Amino acid sequence: MIFQSTILTHPGLGNSGPAHWQSLWEKQFNFDRIEQQDWETPICTDWITTLNSYVQQHDPGTVILVGHSLACTAIAYWAQKYNVSIKGALLVAPSDTEADTYPSGTTGFTPVPLIKLPFKSIVVASNNDYYVNTERAHLFANSWGSELVNIGDAGHINVASGYGEWAQGLELLKRLDN
**123 neighbors 149 (Cβ within 8 angstroms):** yes
CATH of domain 6-177: 3.40.50.1820
The pLDDT assigned to 164 comes to 85
- Single out the residue of 14, 7, 4 nearest to residue 90, CA to CA: 7
**How many Cβ atoms are within 10 Å of 142's Cβ, its own excluded?**
13
pTM: 0.97
Q: What SS3 state is found at 6?
A: strand
Q: pLDDT (tens digit, 0 to 9) for every residue of the chain, 178 residues total?
A: 899 999 999 999 999 999 999 999 999 999 999 999 999 999 999 999 999 999 999 999 999 999 999 999 999 999 999 999 999 999 999 999 999 989 999 999 999 999 999 999 999 999 999 999 999 999 999 999 999 999 999 999 999 998 888 999 999 999 999 8
The pLDDT assigned to 140 comes to 98
**69 neighbors 106 (Cβ within 8 angstroms):** no
**95 neighbors 13 (Cβ within 8 angstroms):** yes
Non-local (6+) Cβ contacts of 88 within 8 A are 5, 64, 65, 119, 120, 121, 122, 176
CA distance 114 to 28: 34
**65 neighbors 10 (Cβ within 8 angstroms):** yes
**134 neighbors 127 (Cβ within 8 angstroms):** yes
- Single out the residue of 158, 168, 137, 176 nearest to residue 12, CA to CA: 158
Q: For the chain, which residues make up each domain, given as ranges? A: 6-177
**81 neighbors 48 (Cβ within 8 angstroms):** yes
Positions of E strands within 53-168? 63-68, 88-92, 120-125, 147-150
